[in-house]
């Protein structure tokens, strides 16, 4: 609580401050410079407030964009991962088809050679000079249905 003595002291300080301010004489060119500096300071403070508002607004925009885009990017990443897994399965299937085709070609060449050389075999069997030829590799038929059934990722 303020006492009467405290109030009187405050009033005395105010009066002394006003008297001192009146006793100090600032030349008018200095006053103009002070006013210009004050105006520039106020303008700078307003500009700083505008910059702060812009930063706050852009910060919330960045947050909202991140909240929208990050889940979409994660979804697309999962989709791409699935696509790459399908590509890997497709490459494996193509390799199986190549192997199967190569084996079929080898058997076809062997069959053609066997038919073309039938006379030589007959002659060999008649003369007793049988050459044992190895049995051809079994060919695995690659099913397209099995491939497409395996594509479930």
The residue with tokens 């699935």 is: 82
Tokens 């060119």 appear where? 29
Question: C-alpha angle 131/132/133, rounded to 5°?
Answer: 110
Which pLDDT belongs to residue 46? 94
Rounded to whole angstroms, the Cα distance separating 131 from 128 reads: 9
User: How many residues can be counted in the chain?
Assistant: 153
pLDDT of 3? 65
What's the pLDDT at 66? 83
Q: Average pLDDT for consecutive 10-residue bins of the chain (153 residues)? A: 67 83 76 88 94 88 85 93 92 90 87 72 68 60 71 64
Quote the pLDDT of residue 119. 64
Q: Write down the pLDDT at residue 2.
A: 57
Per-residue pLDDT, 28? 78
Which pLDDT value is given to residue 87?
92
């Amino acid at each position: 609580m303020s006492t009467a003595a405290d109030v009187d002291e405050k009033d005395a300080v105010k009066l002394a401050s006003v008297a001192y301010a009146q006793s100090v004489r600032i030349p008018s060119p200095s006053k103009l410079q002070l006013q210009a500096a004050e105006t520039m300071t106020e303008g700078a403070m307003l500009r700083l407030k505008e910059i702060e508002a812009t930063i706050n607004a852009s910060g919330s925009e960045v947050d909202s964009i991140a909240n929208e885009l990050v889940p979409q990017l994660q979804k697309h990443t999962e989709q791409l991962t699935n696509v790459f897994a399908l590509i890997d399965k497709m490459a494996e299937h193509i390799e199986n088809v190549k192997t199967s085709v190569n084996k079929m070609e080898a058997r076809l060449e062997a069959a053609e050679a066997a038919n073309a050389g039938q006379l030589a075999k007959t002659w060999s069997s008649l003369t007793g000079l049988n050459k044992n030829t190895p049995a051809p590799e079994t060919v695995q038929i690659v099913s397209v249905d099995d491939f497409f059934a395996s594509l479930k990722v």
